[in-house]
């Protein structure tokens, strides 16, 4: 009977090791990068999953359906945050528009239509005035748009987003930042679906601490 116990122990440890290998299917420096030092988050006890994007980015536009599917079944311990990327000056108007939409309570009306207008309808919406015209189509008065666009609150959020993007060390979008510690990008992951699988893996990694 001793030999049966020995076989059972070998099988147990073999399965445990294999389980560890499967659990560590993603590697730092290969599938995701470490942010040093880690950056503050805004989601309390939840693991923050932050998307950095730009409305003018075709990759971000194609990433959006994957994000929306993920949100329907996201891990309970995760909290999702969107942040406009303003890595170069001409991205800033769209970043400001994102915060204007939040401030005026029309983000849910503006977000997808702005993506569609830029990438499906091929509209040139790049300036403050052009964005004011676009928002007007969703019931926002131009004066209200311009006031919000240049407001202290939006200016503060824009400055903060620029600082965070720099601290994350990202040089392209879309990028997923998990808990202020890890960066996952489609270029390293192999595609949008794999990006969110890696994000789920990192959420579990963080929530188990």
Q: Per-residue pLDDT for 17 more than 50? A: no
Helix (H) or strand (E) holding 81: strand 78-84
- Domains observed in the chain: 28-207 (3.40.30.10)
Q: What mean pLDDT is reported for the chain?
A: 90
pTM: 0.87
Q: Are 69 and 107 in contact (CB under 8 A)?
A: no
Mean pLDDT of 78-87: 98
- ∠97-98-103 over CA atoms, to 5°? 90
Q: How many residues does the chain have?
A: 209
- What integer pLDDT is reported at residue 13 of this predicted model? 44
Structure tokens at 69: 């599917």
Q: Model confidence over 122-150: pLDDT tens digits?
A: 999 999 999 999 999 999 999 999 999 99
Q: Which of 70, 27, 54, 32 is nearest to 172 (CA)?
A: 54
Distances (CA, A) of 114 to 67, 69, 149, 167, 196: 16, 19, 16, 28, 23
Q: Model confidence over 89-122: pLDDT tens digits?
A: 999 999 999 999 999 999 999 999 999 999 999 9
């Amino acid at each position: 009977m001793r030999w049966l116990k020995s076989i059972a122990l070998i099988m147990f440890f073999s399965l445990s090791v294999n389980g560890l290998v499967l659990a560590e299917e993603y590697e730092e420096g290969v599938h995701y990068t470490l942010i040093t030092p880690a950056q503050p988050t805004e989601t309390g006890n939840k693991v923050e999953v932050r998307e950095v994007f730009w409305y003018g980015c075709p990759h971000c536009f194609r990433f959006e359906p994957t994000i929306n599917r993920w949100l329907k079944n996201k891990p309970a311990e995760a909290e999702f945050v969107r942040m406009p990327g303003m890595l170069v000056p001409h991205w800033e108007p769209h970043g400001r528009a994102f915060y204007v939409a939040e401030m005026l309570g029309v983000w849910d009306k503006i977000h997808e239509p702005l993506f569609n207008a830029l990438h499906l309808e091929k509209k040139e919406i790049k300036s403050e005035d052009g964005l004011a015209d676009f928002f007007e189509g969703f019931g926002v008065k131009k004066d209200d748009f311009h006031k919000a666009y240049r407001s202290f609150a939006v200016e503060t959020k824009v400055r903060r987003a620029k600082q965070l993007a720099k601290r994350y060390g990202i040089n392209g979008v879309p990028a997923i930042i998990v808990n202020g510690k890890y960066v996952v990008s489609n270029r390293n992951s192999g595609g949008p679906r794999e990006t969110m699988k890696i994000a789920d893996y990192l959420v579990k990694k963080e929530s188990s601490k």
